[in-house]
Amino acid sequence: MTAHRKRVTILGSTGSIGRNALEVAEAHPGVFEIVSLSAFRNVDLLAEQAERFRVKRVGVGEGASGSGFPPDVEVVEGSEALASLASDPDVDLVVNALVGAAGLGPTMAALRSGKRVALANKESLVMAGEIATRAAEESGAELIPVDSEHSSIFRCLAGVPAAEVAGVVLTASGGPLRDVPPGDVAEADVDSVLRHPTWTMGEKVTVDSATLVNKAMEVVEARWLFGLPFERIDVVLHRESIVHSLVRLADGTMLAHLGVPDMRVPIQYAMLYPEPPDGSFGECPPEKLGALHFEPIDYDRYPCFLLVLEAAKRGGTGATIAATADEVAVDAFVGGSIRFGDIATVIEETLAAVTPGAAATVESVLDAEGRAREAAAGAVERLKVREA
């Protein structure tokens, strides 16, 4: 039995996706061996997880080792260490549940070493989609989406000839501010922005849902995962978060994938793949679903969406610059330094200040990320002064 267990690393195991991934592992005794886990600063929870899952190694942020780990657990520090956990020959499946640009290095390390990657960290594909998908092709690695929209598309596309696929439609809940009067959105406070109507998620992705940056990044993610041009990827507002995405077919019909909004469903699918998932999570009786609504998105309410998407469409490192500016702005908003409405200003000013180049190598992407981080931090400082 042990010889056949899937050997897994979960990067970002203390976060929302990471904790759900561990629940999935616990729901399937004897299927997974958790080889390694990682956190950034939350070493107390990581130590508990390390003990509970009897892992061999853990990764932590630079200088965060602490002393609470079981004595036989190897503790490694810093971003290079995460890449080493991702390419560990003892590991078959890498669950990348890191948030932000920190996910890129481990995604690349895993793909270059031919792993199956259950990818929650959409930022990896936003920043380096072309490089990552090429690396996967060259090494034989597999990218299995964890984002619910992409997991649904992945499942709908199974067995559909490429010539029959006209495009995909990502559904968006509209986020926590979808019904706030437009004039009040810019002043929304952190608590109301973090109260998502349908999903329970980490802070950054919840704020990104309120700005719709999350959906813009998902469009880019879909572009690379499914090899579709931007004009064949649409977005529709769907308040109930039951239909996770649609696939448009050549004859005008559509395939939909329905399920309760519970991330353990797509995580389980990705972790068990290619074995079929079971009903441990997310039974969805149709008679209990009620009415399902689909509406066009009012993009005036979400200025960040087009800022990020247009930057990505221009190609090269544009998407990296926009995503990095967003990361800095979201941090500043959650930390109380800027207003919600300033997130768009930070992204706009960063895009104006940093010239994009070719995203030919990971180094060029990381160079753009560094320049964007500096420019965005400058924009945050100016906004703080203006608002003081």
Ligand X SMILES: NC(=O)c1ccc[n+]([C@@H]2O[C@H](COP(=O)([O-])OP(=O)(O)OC[C@H]3O[C@@H](n4cnc5c(N)ncnc54)[C@H](OP(=O)(O)O)[C@@H]3O)[C@@H](O)[C@H]2O)c1
Residues 297-336, one symbol each (x = binds ligand X by CB under 6 A, - = not), give ----------------------------------------
Choice between 270 and 383, CB closer to ligand X: 270
Choice between 40 and 340, CB closer to ligand X: 40
What is the spatial order of strands in the sheet that 243-249 belongs to? 233-237, 165-172, 243-249, 254-258
Cβ-contact 160, 253 below 8 angstroms: no
Min dist CB 163 to ligand X, Å, is: 30
| Binding-residue total with ligand X (CB under 6 A) | 28
CB within 8 Å of 71: residues ≥ 6 apart: none
Stretch that binds ligand X, among 37-45, 84-92, 187-195, 295-303 (CB under 6 A): 37-45
Near ligand X by CB under 6 A: residue from 34, 35, 61, 171: 61
Min dist CB 176 to ligand X, Å, is: 14
Within 134-163, the residues that bind ligand X by CB under 6 A are: 147
Between CA 329 and CA 344 the distance in angstroms is: 8
Between CA 220 and CA 128 the distance in angstroms is: 10
CB within 8 Å of 343: residues ≥ 6 apart: 207, 211, 213, 304, 326, 329, 330, 333
Angle between helices 104-112 and 122-139 (to 10 degrees): 10
Within 249-278, the residues that bind ligand X by CB under 6 A are: 263
Between CA 281 and CA 197 the distance in angstroms is: 20
Which residue, among 133, 141, 42, has the nearest Cα to 94 in the 3D structure? 141
Within 77-106, the residues that bind ligand X by CB under 6 A are: 97-99, 102
Stretch that binds ligand X, among 21-29, 65-73, 116-124, 355-363 (CB under 6 A): 116-124
Choice between 121 and 211, CB closer to ligand X: 121
What is the CB neighbour count within 10 angstroms for residue 90? 12
Stretch that binds ligand X, among 15-23, 221-229, 230-238, 243-251 (CB under 6 A): 15-23
Q: Which residue has the tokens 């590991």?
A: 91
Task: Please tell me whether residue 14 binds ligand X under the rule CB under 6 A.
Answer: yes
Q: Which residue has the tokens 């395939």?
A: 255
Task: Please tell me whether residue 121 binds ligand X under the rule CB under 6 A.
Answer: yes
Min dist CB 12 to ligand X, Å, is: 3
Task: Please tell me whether residue 114 binds ligand X under the rule CB under 6 A.
Answer: no
Cβ-contact 175, 264 below 8 angstroms: no
Task: Please tell me whether residue 240 binds ligand X under the rule CB under 6 A.
Answer: no
Choice between 199 and 337, CB closer to ligand X: 199
Min dist CB 287 to ligand X, Å, is: 27
Residues 194-223, one symbol each (x = binds ligand X by CB under 6 A, - = not), give -----x-xxxxx------------------
Between CA 106 and CA 379 the distance in angstroms is: 29
What is the CB neighbour count within 10 angstroms for residue 131? 22
Between CA 222 and CA 25 the distance in angstroms is: 27
Near ligand X by CB under 6 A: residue from 28, 31, 42, 166: 42
Stretch that binds ligand X, among 13-21, 174-182, 280-288, 380-388 (CB under 6 A): 13-21
Between CA 85 and CA 21 the distance in angstroms is: 17
Under the rule (CB under 6 A), what is the footprint of ligand X?
12-18, 39-42, 61, 97-99, 102, 120-123, 147, 199, 201-205, 263
